[in-house]
Chains A and B, each alone.
Chain A
């Protein structure tokens, strides 16, 4: 959902935001607040800096030297009945970190898993990504970056519980051990964590703790059902869209049909007459646009009110994009010189014995998460509280503060469970939260003293921009009869995602956006010249699950298959040769998929063909071996065997789910109708009737295998997506003899 980022670079981006007057986060909440918040039902374990003064100077110093991300009090509460509640520092929107992070912490805590609960956090500084220093759910980074953090948190709390038990029993702490939520003495005495939590809380937080030897893990690595499985299977799970405060009103916003347009004239008399409508408000919108918010008792009344508006839009000052013209423009740009990412010698191309030329087209794509965008805002004179599913709570809260004329520390953002997101819930311009704040501000100015939920319809969500950019790729490849590539001349045309965002200064270099080119060439040792063009267009673009690899993996893996086919080589053997001895994880993932699929051994039934692709993204490698056919002119995917390398799999059950889910999102990209197009500046699609996403009838059989590893884990939210479409396309090309050069597939 986010490009691969060198975390050492991120602090510079944050400095950049601060300089622009937008602090990324509110101040760390005083630890005392957590105690108050949790109330009588449960006790926060840990030491509160402000309480520590009265208790122990040493403890104060020890606690103060720990960062907010290392303070157990912000992450762990243990109730008297032994229930352990773990706060997660991310958005849970399906990827399963709300279970995996508690598993990691519970492992080192030696908690009883059946007593572990979890909750989502806020924009408090404790919940920043410990490596990036900002609130961020993206880039498949949660497990990779918070694995050690949550282990250490669990180990610290365990040490404090042990110390409390040693004091209670007046024994040396080294004689004690922990097991399944209890401290045990050598003489058989036992105290549950719930009985020790209050005393443990008064103790200093240890700075140095020992972590378990991974061979002793009993929770990490076990296939574990999600903590939210019950609630999500019974209608009991509350999402952002379900959040409701007393007296809350709902707003829907009429947005201009072309991005950035303004209101020419407005007649809201009929809208105001709709029963339940409380106010009709002109509000400033994203990208300099203007809109009309209709505030009502509920969504339906607001929606009826919006339908009754008579708005004339002034689109004279904004570019009106037409996708067909845009493609022609991209084709023209692709033949121009431009900045280069790789710059190998292209002379051998002219004399190469074999040549291949190809052009690829990829459309805009909408995230189309099942829960439409929404945000609830409650305002007072000197503060605001926000409830939303945010992948970036700190930056969203800071943007809200700026919109409301408040200081960042005057805004609390409560992260809400989200029905998907895939990158859309970290808007580079914070459009969702800023708009909701503008609506709330205008409502308050109009005398409405009520919390306001701004809710997007499906059509609003799909036409609201922030798409995976449209891309054109062009390649000219010279190779020999053994498939050795002699020269590969490649160009990419597509809007830059990161230009204008906090990541621009270190991820857009030499005029090239790293989010456009990620996934090109590597790990293959190819002599490539890669030219990149970033046209501007009045279409907001954004990271979208697996970002650049959504198109680069397709291009690379289908072209390599073409070369293998043209030179009569097995596509697996050809890739293995290119991986050489350097890329062991790629080899292991591909070999596992090959072995488990029966590739090369099993004879497929008539009309079916194998397809292979392997791709690394976000530090994990996924290889697919698929079976596909063409029936009635339509490509059909029957079976997918995956080999996955994500180092240590914290929760194999989630890894499997993420690979299945990402593969199906990758499959969606192949299906007819999976494209956002524009005509006269207006997005032509509006709902699931004209924007295709995979349904159960499209879905193959899955067989997912994970390479065993004890190396520190890497993320799995995205890496399963990129190799699916090329593996499918490679199978179809073997059946038809014609390579597929665009998504969605077009066999014509």
Chain B
């Protein structure tokens, strides 16, 4: 919803405009100790990666660094000298086979409630499935173990389990 008062051209929230940042290199002028989460959210305007705890305890800010799931709230930009970071927007844009399968399963199983943790959940789930050998199905224990770092206060865990198993079955 735009402004109700006719302020001078407020525009839409920039939170929606991420795609232009994807798949590109970015040069930013920030303190090297700045966690990448805040470079993404505040400097680049990519808000799909969420702030939950700031201490790598809840997993809301999970992204992939060269395919590995990492927590951006506690990763200063100086710690990543080179490497490719993939965020929720890229992983679910249809170009990543595993990400697309996880995204589709998440929708099919109606996993999200409030949805604030789900970017991180999907990134952890995608990293798990991408790490399996082709055709392998994760066990219930492997799913729980891979997802244990991602908190969902709404309690969507049962559907998360079902969606991951379902996504894996579609990747065979």
Contact = CB atoms under 8 A, between A and B. Distances in A.
Interface of A: 29, 33, 37, 93-96, 119-120, 122, 225-226, 228-239, 241-246, 250, 275, 297-301, 304, 368-372, 378, 380, 383, 385, 412, 414, 417-422, 457-459, 653, 657, 660-665, 687-689, 693-697, 699, 701-702
Given A298-B43, A696-B160, A369 B115 contact: no
If over half of B's interface residues share one DSSP class (helix, strand or loop), that class is named, otherwise mixed; here it is loop
Contacts of B103: 233-234
29 contacts: A122-B4, A229-B107, A229-B111, A229-B112, A233-B107, A233-B112, A233-B115, A234-B92, A234-B93, A235-B18, A235-B47, A235-B48, A235-B87, A238-B47, A242-B47, A243-B13, A244-B45, A298-B38, A298-B42, A300-B35, A371-B50, A372-B52, A385-B7, A418-B116, A458-B54, A660-B158, A663-B155, A687-B55, A696-B143
Given A299-B42, A702-B158, A93 B13 contact: no
Contacts, number: 217
A300 B42 contact: yes
A27 to B, nearest CB: 13
A235 B114 contact: no
Nearest to A92: B114
B171 interface: no
A688 B110 CA distance: 26
A297 B43 CA distance: 9
Contact of A657 (B42, B88, B156, B161): B156
A231 B118 CA distance: 10
Contacts of B116: 239, 369-371, 418-420
Given A275-B31, A418-B114, A236 B7 contact: no
Interface size class of B (residues with CB under 8 A): 35 or more
B122 A378 contact: no
A657 B13 contact: no
B156 A660 contact: yes
A119 B15 contact: no
A37 B2 contact: yes
Nearest to B17: A244
B5 A412 contact: yes
A354 B33 CA distance: 67
Nearest to B146: A696
A689 B55 contact: yes
B127 interface: no
Interface string B15-49: 11010000000000011001100100111010111
A234 B151 CA distance: 18
A212 B56 CA distance: 52
B15 A94 contact: no
Nearest to B76: A300
A226 B110 contact: yes
A693 B153 contact: yes
B75 to A, nearest CB: 12
A491 B157 CA distance: 37
Contacts of B47: 235, 238, 241-242, 244
Contacts of B58: 370, 458, 688
B69 to A, nearest CB: 15
Given A235-B49, A236-B48, 14 more contacts: A96-B113, A119-B1, A233-B111, A234-B88, A235-B18, A235-B47, A238-B16, A242-B15, A298-B41, A299-B41, A299-B42, A458-B53, A696-B157, A699-B161
